[in-house]
Chains A and B, each alone.
Chain A
Amino acid sequence: MNLFSINDLIATAPALVLVTGAILILLLQIVLPKFRLQAAYGVAIAVTAAAILLLVTGIPTSWQAAGATVQILPPIGTPVPLTEAFNRHVLFSGFVSEFSLLILIALLLLLLNSRRLLAELDLNLVEAYLMMLFSAAGLLYFIAAQDLITLFVALELSSLPLFVLAGWDRHSKSSNEAGIKYFLLSVLATTFLLLGIAFLYGASEGRTNLNELFYSLSRQPQSVRFAPFLFGILGWIFIYAAIAFKTALVPFHGWVADVYEGSITFVTSFMASLIKIAAVAVFFKLVMNTPENHRAIVQPVLMVFAVGSMFYGNLTALVQTNLKRMFAFSSIAHAGYMATLFIFPVGSALLAEIQKEASAALFFYVAGYAATTILVFTVIAFLETGDGEKRRITLEDLKGLGKRNPLAAFLLSLGALSFAGIPPLVGFFGKLYILRVLLGSGQYILALFVAINSLLAVYYYARIVFHCYWDYETEGEKLTGSALRSPAAWISGMALAVTVIGLGLVSSPVLRYALDAMVRFR
C-alpha cells in the first residue's frame, strides 16, 4: 500500500477539474448572487473545456513528483503508458483516455445547448449545471475504475445527479414518474452489481481489483462442480446485468422508453449519450477482464443481450409514432449493435488482436452514435418548445417540416439517415467496422443479425425523412420557432452536424488513431 501522493491527483486531473468547477459554482452563488446563472453557465463550460485541454495536451512531467510514471493522455500521437493511481483503484490506458475524451466533448456540446433549452422551460436553475458536472466526473471515474469498489461508488456518483435531473420538471407528472422510475430501477440494478461483486470477492479469495481478479480466476479449473468457479460465473452474470441496465440492453430495458420520454428532452439527450458512452466502455472493459475459462460459459448471456436488444429495439421502434419513444427504442437497438462487439470467439489464437480491433470499432461506433443522438434530441427539444409551451412531437407533426422549418428538417433527417446507416454519414461506417470485426473473427451469424437489423431500422428512420420532405398531403400541426435558437446552441448544432458528416468522411484515419491508442488494456 502506497501513501497518497501528488501523482494520484495528477492522474485523475480531468475529473478533479470538473468536481472543482461544480464546487466553485456552489460558492459563486453566495459571492455573486445577481449573476449566479450566468456564472454557473460560464464556469461549467470553462471547466469542461479545461478538462478537455488537460486530456489532449497531457500534463508536463516537470509538475510530477520525482520518479513518477503518472501520466494521463499524453499529446495526441504518442503512445499511452498504463498508469495506476490511488493504490491501483484507477488505471489509465489509451482506451480509458479516449472514452474520457468522448464524454467530455459530449458534455461540452450539451452544455452549450443547456442554457436556452432549460430557460425556455423555465427550469434554468444553477443546480442543473452542478448535477451535470458531478455526473460527468462520476462517469470519468467509472471508466477509469480498476477496482470494483471504486467502480460501484463512481457509478453511484454518476447516477445520483441523473435521478434529480430526470425529475427536474417538478410540475410535470411524466417527469416525476421518470425520476422515480429511474431511481427505483437503478437501485435494483445497483444491488445486482453489489451481489455480483460479493460473489467475485468470494470466488477469488477476497479480491476486488480487476487485474488480480483476472489472474486469480483464470487459474480456476473450468468445472461447475468447483464451487468458486460457479460463484465466479454468477458474479460476472450479475455484474453484466447491472451494467446492461445502464447500457439499456434487453432484458434490462424496461425503464428506457418511459424515462426517456418523461424526462425533459435535454436530460434525455444527456442520458442517451453520456451514460451510454460510459456504460458501454465499462462493459467492454469488464468483458476484457473476464478470464477465458469464465467467458466460455458467460458468453451466451452476452449473446442474448446483443441479439435481443437489436431485434426488440428495432421491431418496437417500427410501430412508434411518438418521436422521443421511437428514438428511445432505437437507442436500445444501437446498444445491441455495440454489444455484438463484446462477443469474441472462445479459444481463438488471435484473441488479443480481435479485442484490439473490436475496441477501436466500438470507439468509432460510440463516437458516431453519441454525436447523432445529441443532434437528434437537441432538434427535438427545440421543436418541442417552439410555440411557447412544451408539447409532444409525433410523426404526424413532422409533415411538411421541410417547408416550414428547413434547418430543423435538415438536421433531423441528417441524424435519422446517419442512424439508419446511409453511406457518407458516420452511422454507416460505424456499422461497417462492426461488421468487419465480426466477419474477421468468424462470427457470421452475429454479422447476419446486424445486417438484418440495419435493414429493418431503415424503415422507421426513412419515415422521419419522408414526413419531413415529401408528405404535404395533410398539413401537420404547426411547429414553429427555429431549430437552434441561441448562438451557443447554433455552434453546438453545427459542430454536431459537421461531425456526423465529417467523421464518416475521415473515418479511416480516426479508426487508425483509435487502434494506435488501444495498445494495452489490463
Chain B
Amino acid sequence: MEELNMRMILFYVFSFIMVASALGVVLHRNPVKSAMFLVSFFVGLAAMYALLGAEFLAVVQILVYVGAIMVLFLFVIMLISVREENFESPGSNLGRTAATVLLIGAFAVQFLVMARVFTAGPGINASRPYHGSLGQTGKIIEGNVELLSFKLFQGYLLPFELISIVLLVAAIGAVVLAKKNRRKLQ
C-alpha cells in the first residue's frame, strides 16, 4: 500500500504538470513559450511511461520528441519569426487565473476521491514486472526492449508496416503541397 500511494501521488503530480502545460501550449501568446510548454508536456509524458514500467519508451520519448521534434519546432518558429503581437490573447488575465484555480481544485477533489477508493479496494497493479513467453519457441522473455521488439515485429507486424506507408504518404503529401512551382515538376 505504501508503494502504491507513492505511485498515485507521482501520477497526480505528473498529470497535473501535463494538463497545465497542455493548456499553456494553447493559451500562451508567445509561440516560443508555447513550444517550451510542449517540452514540459513531453517530459511529463515520459515520466508517465516510466511510472508504468515502460522505461524504454520513456527514454525514446525524451530522445525523439524533446530532442528531435521540438528542436525542429523551435527552429521553424524562430525562422518565420512570429511575434507575440500577431496573436490575440485567448482570454483575460482574470479568466486565466480562474481556469488555473479551477484546474487545481478539480485535481485536488479527484485526488481525494481516488485516494479513498484505492485505499478501500484493491489497487492498481502497475508495478507488475514485464514478462512473456514467445509462442512457438517457448522462450521466456524478460525485459523491456526485447519484449517490445517481439511485439513490434511479430504481434503488431501489420500496423507497424502500415505506419511506414503512412510516413511515406506524409512525406510525399508535404512535398506536393509545399512545392512552390508544381508545374515545373512535370
Contact A164 B173 (CB under 8 A): yes
Contact A154 B186 (CB under 8 A): no
Contact B166 A37 (CB under 8 A): no
Q: Interface with A: B6-14, B47-55, B85-93, B156-164, which one?
A: B156-164
Among B135, B157, B168, B182, contact of A125 (Cβ-Cβ < 8 Å): B182
Contact B173 A1 (CB under 8 A): no
Contact with A along B165-186 (1 / 0, CB 8 A): 1101110110011000011011
Residues of chain B within 8 A (CB-CB) of A163 are 173
Contact A141 B186 (CB under 8 A): no
**Closest Cβ neighbor of A227 among chain B residues:** B117
Q: How large is the interface on B (under 10, 10 to 19, 20 to 34, 35 or more residues)?
A: 20 to 34
| B155 on the A face (CB < 8 A) | yes
Contact with B along A115-129 (1 / 0, CB 8 A): 000000010011100
Residues of chain B within 8 A (CB-CB) of A134 are 165, 168-169
Main secondary structure of the interface of B (DSSP, over half): helix
Contact A161 B169 (CB under 8 A): yes
For residue A90, give the distance in angstroms from its CB to the closest CB of chain B.
7
| B136 on the A face (CB < 8 A) | yes
For residue B178, give the distance in angstroms from its CB to the closest CB of chain A.
9
Q: In the complex, A161→B166 CA distance in Å?
A: 9
| A450 on the B face (CB < 8 A) | no
For residue A69, give the distance in angstroms from its CB to the closest CB of chain B.
18
Q: In the complex, A157→B165 CA distance in Å?
A: 7
Contact with A along B4-34 (1 / 0, CB 8 A): 0000000000000000000000000000000
Q: In the complex, A137→B166 CA distance in Å?
A: 11
Enumerate B62-96 residues with CB–CB distance to A below 8 Å: none
Contact B172 A130 (CB under 8 A): yes
Main secondary structure of the interface of A (DSSP, over half): helix
Residues of chain B within 8 A (CB-CB) of A179 are 177
Among B155, B163, B186, contact of A37 (Cβ-Cβ < 8 Å): B186
Contact A89 B159 (CB under 8 A): yes
| A149 on the B face (CB < 8 A) | yes
Contact B162 A150 (CB under 8 A): yes
Contact A150 B159 (CB under 8 A): yes
Contact B162 A167 (CB under 8 A): no
| A278 on the B face (CB < 8 A) | no
Enumerate A129-147 residues with CB–CB distance to B below 8 Å: 130-131, 134, 137-138, 141, 147
Contact A19 B154 (CB under 8 A): no
Residues of chain B within 8 A (CB-CB) of A154 are 159, 162
Contact with B along A76-91 (1 / 0, CB 8 A): 0000000000110110
Q: In the complex, A127→B159 CA distance in Å?
A: 24
Contact A131 B159 (CB under 8 A): no
**Closest Cβ neighbor of B173 among chain A residues:** A164
Residues of chain A within 8 A (CB-CB) of B148 are none
Please tell me the number of chain A residues within 8 Å of chain B, measured between CB atoms. Answer: 39
Residues of chain B within 8 A (CB-CB) of A153 are 159, 162-163, 166
For residue B30, give the distance in angstroms from its CB to the closest CB of chain A.
22
| A170 on the B face (CB < 8 A) | yes
Q: In the complex, A4→B169 CA distance in Å?
A: 25
A2-B136, A3-B154, A87-B155 known; A131 and B173 CB under 8 Å?
A: yes
For residue A129, give the distance in angstroms from its CB to the closest CB of chain B.
11
24 CB-based A-B contacts, threshold 8 Å: A1-B150, A1-B155, A2-B135, A2-B136, A3-B154, A12-B158, A26-B172, A36-B186, A37-B186, A86-B158, A125-B186, A126-B186, A130-B169, A131-B169, A134-B165, A141-B162, A149-B156, A157-B166, A157-B169, A160-B169, A161-B173, A164-B172, A164-B173, A164-B176
> Chain B interface (Cβ within 8 Å of chain A)?
134-136, 150, 154-159, 162-163, 165-166, 168-170, 172-173, 176-177, 182-183, 185-186
> Chain A interface (Cβ within 8 Å of chain B)?
1-4, 8, 12, 19, 26, 36-37, 86-87, 89-90, 122, 125-127, 130-131, 134, 137-138, 141, 147, 149-150, 152-154, 156-157, 160-161, 163-164, 167, 170, 179
* Additional 20 contacts, C-beta under 8 A, given A1-B154, A86-B157, A130-B172: A1-B155, A2-B136, A12-B158, A26-B172, A87-B156, A90-B158, A125-B176, A125-B185, A126-B186, A127-B173, A130-B169, A138-B162, A150-B158, A153-B163, A154-B162, A157-B162, A157-B165, A157-B169, A160-B170, A164-B169
